[in-house]
Chains A and B, each alone.
Chain A
Amino acid sequence: MSLRPDADAGGAPARRPLPPRRRRGGWRAAVVPGVISLASLAAVFGALGWWIGSAEQWPRIRLQFFNLEAMQASFPRVLQGFWVSMRIWVTALVFIALWALVLAVLRSLRAPWFLPFRLMVVIYIDIFRGIPALLLVLLFGFGIPALNLPGLPNSGLFWGTVAMVVCYSAYVAEIYRSGIDAVHEGQWAAAKALGLSEWQTMLYAILPQALRNVLPALMNIVVALQKDVALLSVIGVRDAVREAQIYTAQTFNYSSLIVAAGLFMLATIPMARLADWVTRADRARRLQGAG
């Protein structure tokens, strides 16, 4: 009498095959989107490939940029350069992290006698955030070695790295500071009421929270810097890009640039994934904290 589902179930053995039907549904649900994604991928990239391949100059470009032999031949030198890039990256990172922390802390301390330092930091940040990194690298890399400063190295490698540190620390100091400012005012009050000096308050109460606040933003800087160290190639530092260019100049083949690009990708993609993961973990932590 009632609206039984078996009325339109189609066939007598409709009662029993319910589980198989459900399984078939599950199988479809799992596979169909996958197939659609694959088909759409193939269609888009196929069309793109066909479009590029149909270009009149494609065979010549393929020889010049994707020449497997040239890639193999240039690989050892580019890899060596890449190793230099990564060393610059790590060195710069360490100094940026520390120097920016000093700047941010100096700017955030509140006691009146810090005023001159606060002022100096503000000026520093304004100056070095305003100058393109490439210009700084050129100015430091060509200008300072010409001074022949006693007691300091004259290499482009050294001064180029200094330029990166100077430039990036201005940004990172602002990131740190936003993290410090985001710490609730009550934390300062609590620490002060317990007798902590301003410096101790910073060290024990504020900075740990501030760093946690800005970790995702810092991770993104880390990834950006990993690529930006290539700027040092313009002052003759023999990094991956420079080595690739040297090969290009000698052979009139650009495949070495593709090798360099590939190496940078290999390095940055895991870092970017790590940054995403840190961001997600941070968001989860915040949600948990709020809930």
Chain B
Amino acid sequence: MAERIRLEGVGKSFAGRRVLDAVDLSVAAHEVVCLIGASGSGKSTLLRCINRLVEADEGRILLDGEPVDGPAFGRTGLQRRIGIVFQSYNLFPHMTVLGNVTLAPRRVHGVPRAEAEATAHRLLAEFGMAEFAGSYPERLSGGQQQRVAIVRALATGPDVLLLDEVTAALDPELIGEVLRIVRGLKDAGMTMVVVTHEMGFARDVADRVCFLDAGRIVESGPPAALFGAPEHPRTRRFLQRIMDAGRL
């Protein structure tokens, strides 16, 4: 399969503290890669480097062979190709669901209003949110808000999706509905990099799991191998802790 995303020796420091250290990662088209690791290990930072929410200090990040900070993508091309969904939804509270979903297509990519809204309605319907197009985010449940955030990320038609602990802020009974959607996106062929604490979900859905520790990918492999027979002692310790907490 064609390589979609490639990270070569990516490093990032915040105020002199190394948060990412020479990270190499390759994600094929339609592949789902899950990033796991302790809090503070740099998972979010790694994800945010890919769509340039955070600028890497070192190394190269390529999308389809082109540097993400190169001229190939212009100012907004990268954002069109890569969508991101956050743990805390980050919907715009002063806009309706429809306003949230059509903002980028209309204001960034110049899609005419009628067309942008038609796309939005179609996507909202697809994710069971058709009736909430006119609602404000605060009226929705956490799961519904996260679905809107996913629709917003999909509205510009990206082929890569970055998910940063998208279920971590949800009540347990709402986690399932969002995970089902992520599984559906995988089946539809979306390339995804997923930061998650849901080990069961990672085992189910991931093509590959990467374990991040102190800004380095210390181990990666198919979920069966990584969860079944972790090689690195740090991976083992991390998984042991998760298991003790009853989350695997």
Q: CB within 8 Å of B: which residues of A?
A: 184, 186-187, 189-197, 200, 204-205, 208-209, 212, 288-289
Point out the residues of chain B lying under 8 angstroms from A193, CB to CB: 51, 53, 79, 83-84, 153
Give me 8 A-to-B residue pairs in the complex whose CB atoms sit less than 8 angstroms apart, sorted by A's number. A191-B92, A193-B53, A194-B103, A195-B78, A195-B79, A195-B80, A200-B108, A204-B92
> Taking the nearest CB of chain A, how far is it from the CB of B196, in angstroms?
19
User: A212 to B94, alpha carbons, bound, how many Å?
Assistant: 9
> Judging by beta carbons under 8 Å apart, are A189 and B103 in contact?
no
> Judging by beta carbons under 8 Å apart, are A197 and B75 in contact?
yes
User: A72 to B93, alpha carbons, bound, how many Å?
Assistant: 54
Nearest first, the 4 A-B pairs at minimum CB distance are: A195-B79, A190-B90, A194-B104, A195-B76
Point out the residues of chain B lying under 8 angstroms from A204, CB to CB: 92, 103, 107
- The SS class assigned to the A binding surface is helix
Known: A195-B109, A196-B104, A204-B103. A190 touches B92 (CB 8 A): yes
> Judging by beta carbons under 8 Å apart, are A195 and B94 in contact?
no
> Judging by beta carbons under 8 Å apart, are B88 and A186 in contact?
yes
Closest Cβ neighbor of A291 among chain B residues = B138
User: A195 to B92, alpha carbons, bound, how many Å?
Assistant: 15
Point out the residues of chain B lying under 8 angstroms from A196, CB to CB: 103-104, 107-108
Point out the residues of chain B lying under 8 angstroms from A192, CB to CB: 53, 79
How many A-B pairs with Cβ below 8 Å? 57
Interface magnitude class on chain B: 20 to 34
> Judging by beta carbons under 8 Å apart, are B108 and A205 in contact?
no
Contact among A194, A208, A212, A288 with B79 in the assembled complex (CB-CB below 8 Å): A194
> Judging by beta carbons under 8 Å apart, are B107 and A189 in contact?
no
Is B86 in the interface zone, CB < 8 Å from A? yes
Closest Cβ neighbor of A285 among chain B residues = B138
User: A189 to B78, alpha carbons, bound, how many Å?
Assistant: 15
Best-surrounded residue of B75, B83, B88 (most CB of chain A within 10 A)? B88
> Judging by beta carbons under 8 Å apart, are A190 and B108 in contact?
no
> Taking the nearest CB of chain A, how far is it from the CB of B69, in angstroms?
14
Closest Cβ neighbor of A187 among chain B residues = B90
> Judging by beta carbons under 8 Å apart, are A194 and B108 in contact?
yes
Best-surrounded residue of A184, A193, A288 (most CB of chain B within 10 A)? A193
Point out the residues of chain A lying under 8 angstroms from B203, CB to CB: none
B26-45, CB < 8 A from A:
none
User: A205 to B92, alpha carbons, bound, how many Å?
Assistant: 7
Point out the residues of chain B lying under 8 angstroms from A184, CB to CB: 90
Is B208 in the interface zone, CB < 8 Å from A? no
Point out the residues of chain B lying under 8 angstroms from A189, CB to CB: 48, 53, 86, 90
User: A273 to B166, alpha carbons, bound, how many Å?
Assistant: 44
Point out the residues of chain A lying under 8 angstroms from B109, CB to CB: 195
> Taking the nearest CB of chain A, how far is it from the CB of B104, in angstroms?
4
